Amino acid sequence: MLLRTRIRQPKEPPMEPSGGEQEPGAVRLLDLPWEDVLLPHVLNRVPLRQLLRLQRVSRAFRALVQLHLAGLRRFDAAQVGPQIPRAALTRLLRDAEGLQELALAPCHEWLSDEDLVPVLSRNPQLRSVALAGCGQLSRRVLGALAEGCPRLQRLSLAHCDWVDGLALRGLADRCHVLEELDLTACRQLKDEAIVYLAQRRGAGLRSLSLAVNANVGDAAVQELARNCPQLEHLDLTGCLRVGSDGVRTLAEYCPALRSLRVRHCHHVAEPSLSRLRKRGVDIDVEPPLHQALVLLQDMAGFAPFVNLQV
């Protein structure tokens, strides 16, 4: 006896209208006003990585995305991914002419002068530029920034070994509103370059990092102190030539100082830091007594009672 089975076919979903089969009264996304609706209220909320994909949908979407990118005020390559290809960066920034913030750290392995200088020349309104780790660049980039971006306020050049005293001079001469500068691990810089920076731009500097630079010493720190009355944050981590004399000058001449980083500055003694501690300055090195108590607690397994008023 044969047993017959009946296979039920799954129901097909209803067809969505597309192209010329648009339902009466339906509104397609691209039919909405671009400048009044799509650009300010839709594309502004789409991540850059998705915009790259959206460009491939159709010519109309490509035109819409390019119009949006042309009006970008802030571009952070990290939003695209940890390793953005050169072609993708070129497409994204091809028409941008109103950028105010630019961060390109994920491009550090390949970014060159030829990639960056045209972008800088098209965007004179730039106020913040982050190029940390971009080791393939040269001082030509700083020349383009100095000459073409007079409103530059924040600049990160951390771990850019190509930054030397000559490049920094051009920056100090022309960037009149510079407030924040990160020169971490720019190992070619010496006291003379920092002294020149302090004398030319010190009045407006609020934040400066000279961390991991063995060529920077007390001469540079003292000149910064005397010329930077608005300095709030100073990072000297690993500056082995900085000592107590430089820190004492900071305490005397920098009333706005809020944080100081001197870890691994082995010539900085606690007496030079105590005046800053009394003012409430955040210092990344604990006082010797606190260090001793922490060490004793670790060894004994409990926190001893110490009368600090004796």
Q: How far is CA 18 from CA 30, 53, 84, in A?
A: 13, 20, 33
Inter-residue contact 119 to 96 (CB < 8 Å): yes
Q: What is the 3-state secondary structure (H, E, C) of 58-106?
A: CHHHHHHHHHHHHCCCEEEHHHCCCCCCHHHHHHHHCCCCCCCEEECHH
Chain Cα centroid distance, residue 300: 43
Cβ 189 vs Cβ 217: under 8 Å: no
Which pLDDT score is estimated for 13?
Answer: 42
Kindly state the helix (H) or strand (E) to which residue 162 belongs, with its residue range. none
Q: What is the per-residue pLDDT for 183? A: 98
Give residue 24's pLDDT: 59
- What residues contact residue 128 under an 8 Å CB cut-off, 6+ apart? 100, 101, 102, 103, 152, 153, 154, 155
CA atoms within 13 A on the CB side of 114: 2
* Predicted local confidence at residue 41, as pLDDT: 66
pLDDT tens across the length of the chain (310 residues) = 444 444 344 444 444 444 445 555 566 877 777 777 777 767 777 887 788 788 778 888 888 888 878 888 999 999 887 788 898 899 889 989 999 999 999 999 999 999 999 999 999 999 999 999 999 999 999 999 999 999 999 999 999 999 999 999 999 999 999 999 999 999 999 999 999 999 999 999 999 999 999 999 999 999 999 999 999 999 999 999 999 999 999 999 999 999 999 999 999 999 999 999 999 999 999 887 554 454 455 555 655 554 544 4
pLDDT of residue 112: 96
Which one-letter amino acid corresponds to residue 250?
Answer: L
pLDDT on residue 247: 97
| Per-residue pLDDT at 187 | 95
What is the pTM assigned to this prediction? 0.80
Predicted confidence at residue 68, as pLDDT, reads 77
